[in-house]
Amino acid sequence: MAELERGVWQRFDHDPRLPSHAHLRASDLDRDVIADVLATAYAEGRLDRDELDERSDRLRATKTLGELPVLVADLVVDRSAPRPAVRSMRREAEERYAARRNAALWSFLVPTVICWVIWVSVLLGGGGTAFPWPIFVTLGTGAGWFRMLTAREAQVAELERHLEEKQLRREERRRRRLEGPS
C-alpha cells in the first residue's frame, strides 16, 4: 500500500482534496483510482468484505470529486496534502533570467577588463601601439549582455515556456510510472 499511498492523489487530473475542485463532477477514471485503493486495502486485510461492499456502493453513487477523499481517508496517509505553489512559473523564470543576466554581465566584464589592463600595461611600457584593440573584445562580449538587457520580456517568456514544458514532461513521466507497464 505504501506505493499506492504515494501516488493516489497524483493520479487525478484535478486533486479532489482541493476545495476549488470539490464541486467538479467525478469521472469513471477518478472512481477507478479510489476503487484501486479500496481493493488494495481489502487484499491487505485493512477492510473486511462488508466494509469493501459498503464503500464500493458509496463510490458508485458519488457525483463530485469532493465526495471521494472521505471514502479512503482512513486508508491513505495524507502527508502530501495540496499546498499552494511555493513559486510561480513566472517568478522562477524571472529568477533564472536574473541569474543569466548576471552571468552575461560577468562574461562581458572579465575579458573586457583583462584586455584593457593588458593594453594599457603594454602601452605604458612603451611596447604597444596606440590602436585600442580591446574595443573589439568589449563590443563582442558586450553584445550578449546588451541583448540580455534589451530583450528581457521575451527571454522571461521563453524561460517560462521552457519551465512549463519541463513540468508537463515531469507530470507525464509520473503518470506513466503510476500507470505501470502497458
Residue 4 has pLDDT above 60, yes or no: no
pLDDT of residue 16: 87
Instruction: Calculate helix-pair angle for 49-61, 28-43, nearest 10 degrees.
Output: 170
Question: What single-letter amino acid sits at 169?
Answer: R
**Domains: count for the chain:** 2
Lowest mean pLDDT among 10-14, 24-28, 177-181: 177-181
The single residue listed with the C-alpha cell 484501486 is 36
Domain assignment present for 171: yes
Give pLDDT tens digits for 25-61: 999 888 998 999 999 888 889 999 999 999 999 999 9
- CA torsion, ordered 96, 176, 9, 52, to nearest 10 deg: -170
**pLDDT greater than 50 at residue 3:** no
Provide the 8-state DSSP code for 64.
Answer: B
Q: What pLDDT sits at residue 82?
A: 47
Total residue length of the chain: 182
Residues 97, 170 within the same domain: yes
List the domain range (segments joined by +) for residue 134.
Answer: 89-179
C-alpha closest to that of 3 among 90, 58, 77: 77
For range 93-117, the mean pLDDT? 93
- Give the contacts of 42 (CB within 8 A, at least 6 positions apart): 48, 49, 51, 52
Task: Look at residues 72, 106, 123 and tell me which one is the last residue of a structural domain.
Answer: 72
58-100 pLDDT per residue, tens: 999 999 989 999 999 888 876 554 444 445 788 888 999 999 9
Do 53 and 127 lie in a common domain?
Answer: no
Q: What's the confidence (pLDDT) of residue 79?
A: 52
pTM: 0.47
Q: Which single residue is written with the C-alpha cell 521563453?
A: 158
In a shared domain, residues 93 and 45: no
Considering 72, 100, 133, which residue would you say is the last residue of a domain?
72
Q: Residue 87: its pLDDT value, please?
A: 59
Query: Is the model's pLDDT at 1 over the cut of 70?
Result: no
Question: In this predicted structure, what is the pLDDT of residue 25?
Answer: 92
DSSP letters, 69-97, are HHHHTTTS--TT-----SS-HHHHHHHHH
How confident is the model over 124-151, as pLDDT tens digits? 888 767 889 999 999 999 998 898 889 9
Report the SS3 class of residue 48: coil
